[in-house]
Amino acid sequence: MSKTQATILIIDDDEDVLLSAKLLLKKQYEKVIIRNNPKDLNQLISEEHIDIIVLDMNYRIGFNDGKEGMYWLEHVLSINPKMVVILMTAYGEVELAVKAIKLGAFDFILKPWSNEKFLATIQAGLKLSRTNHKISILKHTNEALINNTNQNFGPIIGHSKLMQTVMNTIDKVSSTDASILILGENGTGKQHLARAIHNRSANAKGPFIHVDLGALSESLFESELFGHKKGAFTDAHEDKPGRFEMAENGTLFLDEIGNLPYNLQSKLLTVLQDKKVSRLGEGIERPFNARLLFATNAPIKQWIDEGKFRQDLLFRINTVEIEIPPLRDRPEDISEFVTHYLNIFKEKYHKSHLTITDDAVKALQSHHWPGNIREIQHTLERGVIMCDHNIITISDFNLTVIPNKTNSKNAVYDNLNLQEIEKLLVEKAMNKHGSNISKAAKELGLTRAALYRRLEKFNL
C-alpha cells in the first residue's frame, strides 16, 4: 500500500510514546519526525513542510499543569495561525485540552490512546491542513488575477500567411507541456498569444498567472516568484505563496524574460531545472506543477554573445519558439483589426452609426505601426472619439509619420511638436538598448517608472 504524502511532527519527552506513535504512523504516512524537546520547533518549522504537529502538554518531571503545552501551542500558532496542532494529554487534563482547542488547537488525543482514534484524528487533521493550504494559494491567486478581470482578450486576428504559420504552430504545441518562448516587438500581442496557448492546453481550467519581469525590481524578484515566509523581511506580515505556486495546475507566463538581470537568471534556471521553489526565509522545497510560457522583445541570441543572457537558460525556456510578425509586415491583416476595434469602440462610446472612409482604411494599411496592435487599437479608439459626424476620416486619427531611416540625422527635428519629438527619442533609446528598460531610462535621464508611463502614453 502506498503511503500518504505528509509530514507529521511528534514532540513528547517520553521516548516510549515517541516510538509507539512513529511505528503506528509510519505505516501510512511518508514522513514522521519525532523529537523530545519542544525547543526544536523553530528549526523544524523553518526547514520542513510540516502538515501536522502532535504536541504533548507536559515536559518537565513533576509538572502536570499543561502550561508548557499551552505555551508551545500559542508559539506555533503565532508563527503559522493555520498550522494543525493536535495535543496529547492524560485523562485528568481534558478540561485543559478543551481550553487549548478554544485557543486554536485542532483536537486532542488521550493517553493511552486507541490506535483507531489516533489514526482517525491524524487523518482529519491532515484533511484540514490540505484545505488550509489550498485556501491560502487560492486567496493569493485570486488577488493576482484581479488585474486581468477587466481586460478584453478576444480572438487572435489575422489571416495573412505569416499569421497562419503562427497559428499552425500554436495548434501543434498547445496540448503539450513544452516550454514556449514567444518573440515579438512591443505591442504585437505576446500576452494575448500566451493566453490562447493556455486556453487550448490541458491546463485551461487552471489559473493563468502573468508576471512582467521587466517591471519587477531585483529586491522583489524572489518574493514575487517564489513566495516568502512571515517575517522574512520588514513588510512580510504573512506567509505568501509565489507565482509558481499560484499557477499550480495552470499556466505561468513570464513576460519580458530578456530584462531579467544576469545575477537572477541562475536562480530562475535552478527552479526550472528542479521544478521546486523555496519561499524567501524558508528552507522548504515545494514542488510545483505549471505550464511555463516565456516572452521577450529583446534580441536574446545577440545578448548571449554579449554575455547579457545565459545560454543554458535559453535552452531551458525555448523548447519551441514562436515569433509574432510586426503589423507592418502583414498589412493584409489591417482591415480585420479596423473592423474588430471599430465594432468595440462604437459600442463603447454609443456611436453605432459610424462608418469609415476607404481613404482612411488605406491610410491605416500604409502606416508603419511602430506600436503594432497596441497602437492601432488606440488609434481607432481616438478616431471614434474624435469623429464629429457619421463618417470617420483620416484627420480623425492624427497619424504620425515616422521619418525614413535614409533621411538625415536631423530629420526628426523637422517636426517641432514636442510630444512627437519625445516619442521618437523614447523609441530611439529603446531600439538602441534592445528594449532594456533600465538602460533606456538611464540614457533618457528618466526613472524606470517614468519610462513605462511614456511607453504606455505613446503606445510603444
357 shares a domain with 315: no
**How high is the pLDDT of residue 408?**
39
180 shares a domain with 301: yes
372 shares a domain with 451: no
Average pLDDT rounded to a whole number, residues 164-171: 94
**How high is the pLDDT of residue 419?**
65
Evaluate whether 441 touches 447 at the Cβ level (below 8 Å).
yes
239 shares a domain with 222: yes
3-state class of 311 per DSSP?
A: helix
Identify the band that residue 442 occupies on the pLDDT scale cut at 50, 70 and 90: confident
Here the CATH number for the domain that contains residue 37 is: 3.40.50.2300
Q: Comparing 17-31, 142-156, 346-360, 439-453, which segment has the lowest mean pLDDT?
A: 142-156
**How high is the pLDDT of residue 122?**
93
Evaluate whether 167 touches 197 at the Cβ level (below 8 Å).
no
Q: Comparing 56-65, 152-161, 333-342, 352-361, which segment has the lowest mean pLDDT?
A: 56-65
Average pLDDT rounded to a whole number, residues 40-65: 81
**How high is the pLDDT of residue 81?**
87
Identify the band that residue 373 occupies on the pLDDT scale cut at 50, 70 and 90: very high
**How high is the pLDDT of residue 205?**
87
**How high is the pLDDT of residue 194?**
95
Q: For the chain, give the mean pLDDT.
A: 85
Average pLDDT rounded to a whole number, residues 109-127: 91
**How high is the pLDDT of residue 143?**
57
110 shares a domain with 201: no
Asked whether residue 197 is domain-assigned, the answer is yes
Greater pLDDT, 5 or 96: 5
Rg (C-alpha) for the chain, rounded Å, is: 29
pLDDT in tens, 377-422: 999 999 999 998 889 998 898 776 544 444 434 444 444 455 667 7
317 shares a domain with 253: yes
Which of 97, 113, 141 is the C-terminal boundary of a domain? 141
Asked whether residue 151 is domain-assigned, the answer is no
**How high is the pLDDT of residue 33?**
94
**Global pTM value:** 0.63
Alpha-carbon distances of 356 from 3, 378, 397, 401, rounded to whole Å: 68, 16, 11, 21
pLDDT in tens, 210-251: 999 888 878 888 888 998 888 788 777 788 888 999 898 999
| Domain residue limits at 9 | 4-141
Judged against a pLDDT cut of 70, whether residue 28 lies above it is answered with: yes
251 shares a domain with 170: yes
250 shares a domain with 331: no
Q: What is the dihedral of CA 397, 403, 409, 414, to 10 degrees?
A: -50
Asked whether residue 152 is domain-assigned, the answer is no
Asked whether residue 194 is domain-assigned, the answer is yes
Residue 31: strand pairing partners: 7
CA distance 436 to 259: 6
Average pLDDT rounded to a whole number, residues 341-351: 93
Would strands 107-111 and 4-11 be described as parallel, antiparallel, or unpaired? unpaired
Which of 293, 325, 357 is the C-terminal boundary of a domain? 325
Per-position b or e across 194-214, b if 16+ CB within 10 A of its CB? bbbbbeebebeebbbbbbebb
Q: What is the total count of domains within the chain?
A: 4
pLDDT in tens, 256-301: 999 888 889 999 999 999 999 988 888 788 899 999 999 999 889 8
Q: What is the percent of the chain with per-residue pLDDT over 90, rounded to a whole number? A: 44
Q: What is the percent of the chain with per-residue pLDDT over 70, rounded to a whole number? A: 89
**How high is the pLDDT of residue 285?**
86
312 shares a domain with 176: yes
169 shares a domain with 283: yes
Greater pLDDT, 411 or 112: 112
Judged against a pLDDT cut of 90, whether residue 347 lies above it is answered with: yes
**How high is the pLDDT of residue 161?**
94
Which of 382, 399, 416 is the C-terminal boundary of a domain? 399
**How high is the pLDDT of residue 409?**
42
**How high is the pLDDT of residue 255?**
94
Backbone angles phi, psi at 450, to 5 degrees: -65, -40
Here the CATH number for the domain that contains residue 348 is: 1.10.8.60
419 shares a domain with 378: no
For the record, the C-alpha cell of 411 comes out as 530629420
Greater pLDDT, 139 or 223: 223
Evaluate whether 333 touches 160 at the Cβ level (below 8 Å).
yes
